[in-house]
Amino acid sequence: MVTKMTAQETKISYKNMGGRSTILPWPHEKTFMHQHMQFVRPYKEKGYSNCYIAAKLRFDDNCKNGHNTFSLTGYVQRVGARDWEMGGCIHEEIEKYFPELAHLIKWHLVSTDSPMHYISNALYHAGDRDCWGRRAGEPCQWETHIQFGNFPITKQISEKLAAFIDHTIEFNKTALPTPSSTKKKLF
């Protein structure tokens, strides 16, 4: 037996903001497959002409993991354009253009059973390493590269190693005889 699911789309009003709500329930489940509200306002920032910002609230189980999860995301798009100018977890922009939703930002990615990745996020924020596993102040970029012969790939090296190589090259120029100085004149 095939169960036909139809989405219920309605106009909504939340704190004097007009928007649209779409609900699509899972058949025989306690969660929603698709439940969101979207609000749109003009976006007026330097460098962004003829744009609008949309804030999207979701509380559903679209990823099919057995519990509803709340999220508050948004995007900025030019009128008539296909692609976004920016989008995703743009909470600073949402807070600025939709102050009515600011109190909901702290609930982003909290589900009906717990915050998403609760333990791993707590360990990350309590730790002294960044998302790449480096400690604060640990070098992550190098300005100097080394290349071996005509091999096309360069290798990043630290400034300390670069200084050592430079010193060694200068030392070898003065300490070791060069092939041109050791040639004997035949005539």
Which helix (H) or strand (E) covers residue 123, if one does? Answer: helix 118-126
Paired strand residues for 47: none
| pLDDT recorded at residue 122 | 78
Provide the pLDDT for residue 185.
55
pLDDT at 184: 57
Are the C-beta atoms of 108 and 121 separated by less than 8 Å?
no
Which residue type is seen at 104?
A: L
Q: Which amino acid is at 75?
A: Y
Model confidence, pTM? 0.57
DSSP, residue by residue, 151-187? -S--EEE-HHHHHHHHHHHHHHHHHS--TTTSPPP--
**Three-state secondary structure call for residue 133:** coil
The predicted structure's pLDDT at residue 15: 75
Residue-level pLDDT at 139: 66
Q: What angle do CA 53, 58, 60 make, to 5 degrees?
A: 160
What are the Cα distances from residue 143, in Å, to 95, 135, 140, 152? 38, 20, 10, 18
Measured distance between the N- and C-terminal CA atoms of the chain, rounded to whole angstroms: 104
Which residues on adjacent β-strands are paired with residue 40?
54
Contact between residue 36 and residue 22 where contact means Cβ atoms under 8 Å apart: yes
Residues of the chain scoring pLDDT < 50:
187
The reported pLDDT for the residue numbered 77 is: 94
